Amino acid sequence: MSSKTLAPEHLGDLFRSGLSDDVISTLEYESVRPQDITIQSVQSAYRIPYFTIDGSRNCFERWRLFPVLKRPDGSKQKYYQPAGTDPSLYLPPLCSWKTVASQPAAPLLIVEGEKKAAAGCAKGLFAIGVGGLWNWRQKLDNRDPLVIPTIDQFLWTDREVCLVPDSDAWRAGRELDLLAGFYALGQELHFTGCLGAAAAPA
C-alpha cells in the first residue's frame, strides 16, 4: 500500500511524527473516505490498522480525527474507535514480533500512541503501542477486566520493560490520576516476572 492513499493533511501529520514515506506505506495507513465519516464535526480522518504478532492485519483499527473534537468537559478527542470494540496492542509491522516475543533478552518499550511506537521501531527499538493508558486490557461480558490476550504471547520473565506515557500524564496534580493505568500495567508485568517496568515521559 502506498502513502499516496493519504490526503496531504494526513500525510503531513505523519511526517511531523517522524515517520518516513516508506514506513508510512508499510504501516498501511490510509485516509477514510468522506462518505464513511459519520462523526459530527469531523471533516476528515485516517485509519490506523492493527496487526497480529505474525504481522498480518487483524480486525481492529483506530481513526485519527481532523479537526480534534472538543468534549463538553473541555477535554479533546484526537482518536476514534468503533463503539463496542475492545482495545488491542499496536505492533508496528516493522520487525518480527513473533521473534521478539520469544526472546526475553530483548528489552521492550510500551508507549502511549501508535505513531510513537512506529517511530521507535523505525529507529530500531522494540516499541509496542497502546491507544491510551488503560488500553492494555479488555472487559469481559460481565464487565470484569481482562489483560489483552496478546500480552500473554510474550515471554516476560527477566525482560526489561520501560513504560512511556504521553508527557501530559506528568502534569502537576494529575500524576496519580493519569498514570494509574500504566502503574497498573507495571504491576501486571511485575507479576509475570519482568525485571522492571520503569516509567518515563515521552
Does one domain contain both 58 and 140?
no
Return the amino acid letter for 88.
Answer: S
Does one domain contain both 66 and 144?
no
Exposure string of 106-116, with b = 16+ CB inside 10 Å and e = fewer, is bebbbbbbbbb
pLDDT for residue 140: 66
- Total-model pTM: 0.89
Q: Is residue 92 part of a domain?
A: no
Does one domain contain both 28 and 56?
yes
How would residue 99 be classed by pLDDT, with cut points 50, 70 and 90?
Answer: very high
Mean pLDDT along residues 155-184 = 79
Does one domain contain both 192 and 109?
yes
Does one domain contain both 115 and 194?
yes
Mean pLDDT along residues 15-30 = 96
Q: Is residue 131 part of a domain?
A: yes
Q: Is residue 85 part of a domain?
A: no
Most confident of the following: 64-73, 171-180, 184-193: 64-73
Structural domain span for residue 135: 97-199
pLDDT for residue 115: 97
DSSP structural state of residue 171: -
